[in-house]
Structure 1
Amino acid sequence: MNALLLLGALSSILILIILILYFELQSLRKKLLAKEFQIQETLQRASSTFSEAMAMREEAQRMKEDLERRVDEARRESVQKSKEVVAGKVTEQLAPFFPNFKYNPRDVRFIGTPIDLVVFNGLDSGKVESIVFMEIKTGNSRMTERERSVKEAIDASRVSFEILRIDSTLDQVE
């Protein structure tokens, strides 16, 4: 009988150990599922972050290419404008020798800024009949604000002639 009691007690202890192990196993399974869920969430966030990073990289690449294209375009425009400015300056200097220039080239004085030329009409023959202030323009170029202000002063007859006398003693210059 003692053996039976001992066997019953051992059986109860064994069942209790099995139950404890079962509940511990269930707890470990829940923890494992929770960890797997965390890992899945972390992987999804990492994947999303990676996708965003790739999209940002592609956008940065597009922006870089657009910037390079605009810089190249600006360079080409700058070179073209520079060519136009040089051509304009050459044209200003050569204008008195063009066939459609109606004044004697010897009567012309180049100033450059704020106007291009002053024509002393008749100067070469000894008698100035008129004075013409001339601005040379090429293509679609327009007068600057300064050029317009000179034209307005001339049109409003705000033009005069002055003589400035300077004492030319060399002793005063040191």
Structure 2
Amino acid sequence: MLQIAFIRENQEKVIKALAKRNMDATSIVQEVVQLDEHRRATQVELDGILSESNKLSAAIGELMKSGEKAKAAILKEKTILLKEKSKTLAETADALAAELAEKLYTLPNLPADIVPEGKTPEENLNIFQEGDIPVLHEGAQPHWELVKKHDIIDFELGNKITGAGFPVY
């Protein structure tokens, strides 16, 4: 999964690289960056409110020690309002983070720089090949059919015993 910091700093590179995979990522990259900016702004606001609430709580303690309960009661009301606002902002920040994660999950990893553009496998370049590709006769069978046919491996019994795909020989 691509990191949001990388996307934020390299928007054009991400869009260009994903174009190699035949994906027009312009809109989703812009959405991701906007969501991240909104989430970060919400988090900054939340941090400020929590900081202010902590300062007021400390001031309430000092006022209670000095016996100024009327001033402390006023500050308590302010902290209650700040706590409610911080709860709402925290929920908003969590929702934005979840939405951002969902958007990031839809973006594939970037292909390597040496990957050529192409829409079909035929457009891929074969850079290296060792040996000749074997040509199988018309009745060739895959290995899983051969082991069943010759009763060499019992996949079903292995699954029944272990439940994890271990074969029984």
**TM-score, with structure 2 as normaliser:** 0.28
**TM-score, with structure 1 as normaliser:** 0.28
The structure richer in strand per residue is 1
Higher relative contact order (CA 8 A, sep 6+): 2
